[in-house]
Amino acid sequence: MNQPKIIPSGSDLARTLKQEARRLGFDPVGIASAAGSDRLRLRTAALERWLAAGHHGSMAWMEDPRRRQIEKLLPGVRSLVAVGLSYYVRQWPQAGSLKVARYGWGRDYHRVIERRLRQLGHWLEAQVPGTSWRACVDTAPLLDKAWAEEAGLGWIGKHGNLIHRQRGSWLLLGHLLTSLELPADQASESLCGRCSRCIDACPTTAIREPFVVDARRCIAFHTIENRDPSLPAELSENLQGWVAGCDICQEVCPWNGDALQSSEDPDMQPRPWLLNLQGPEALGWSDQEWDERLRASALRRIKPWMWRRNIAAASPMPDLGETLPGP
């Protein structure tokens, strides 16, 4: 005769759930109540102001109303499990090479995080049969940084990235929404203080004021999302070698100092060519070569013609623009 399954208490389940998440490679891990706090509502209001100001540029998906209504993502949601995956690897591009944002060095984090979150969801469902859940990465219309802050993973810095005391801001975020009511962790408090290094360091003044980033001025936005044949002149003049994303505001953050632990996660290790990207050579790669080099990479969002556009802008050569193929 089958014995009825013993359902663990909320606190026991939360503890073992976090242990399982860490076993899957996530750290930090926290839990938030889907009801949200007053601060979450302030973050939502800030999103509305950011959208009204047009700071999202051409990223129309940021306007998705589900971003402000979490119950639309999972009817009956009661808790969120927020997870972080460090992508900091103690390596640097070779001198004189073009620069690519660290988040794109390894395997496509969307796939990595979603796969692991789904494993966590199936584990949770095995503990409490009948539980509904949904795995979300940053492609889902969710205020992921605000919810991570709510779950105690860290605080949103003045550069708009989440900062953790030990992991800094080199964190990829994911969330597991669930119908279970789990004990929530305490939300994080901001520790940026009066520091303005990220604001001062941005070469295009994209951080218009603390916590407000105007994508229309951002190197990361233009090198990844901009589909125009050429980059704005004022941006091209300030690329500083960045051709895929930009880490300047994170590199100067005091929470990203030398004490950070380097990730040993196999999925986060860099492709060697990304650390020695030479413009003249890369401009000669065919679309097929770009496709092969970027397999299973988050950087596939940047099409081959965009790579050439960005590289040409970051390392201009005589008459190069006239020979570059368009989109």
Tens digit of each residue's pLDDT (9 = 90 or more) over 211-244: 999 999 999 999 999 999 999 999 999 999 999 9
- Is the same domain home to 112 and 257? no
- Is the same domain home to 139 and 29? yes
Which domain range does residue 40 map to?
A: 10-90+106-178
Catalytic residue flag (residue 265): no
From 114, 149, 178, give the residue that closes a domain: 178
At residue 325 the predicted structure's pLDDT band, cuts being 50, 70 and 90, is very low
Domains of the chain: total: 2
- Is the same domain home to 123 and 166? yes
How many CB atoms are closer than 10 A to CB 261? Answer: 12
Which of the following is catalytic: 12, 27, 108, 138? 138
**What predicted TM-score, i.e. pTM, was given to this entire model?**
0.91
Average pLDDT on 117-125 reads 98
User: CB-side exposure of 86: number of CA atoms within 13 Å?
Assistant: 21
Selection from 179, 209, 152 nearest residue 37 by Cα: 152
Quick check: is 183 in a domain?
A: no
Quick check: is 95 in a domain?
A: no
- Is the same domain home to 171 and 223? no
- Is the same domain home to 262 and 160? no
Compute CA distances 130 → 41, 73, 121, 123, 320, whole Å. 30, 18, 12, 12, 60
Average pLDDT on 184-210 reads 97
Burial class (CB in 10 A: 0-12, 13-18, 19+), 326: exposed
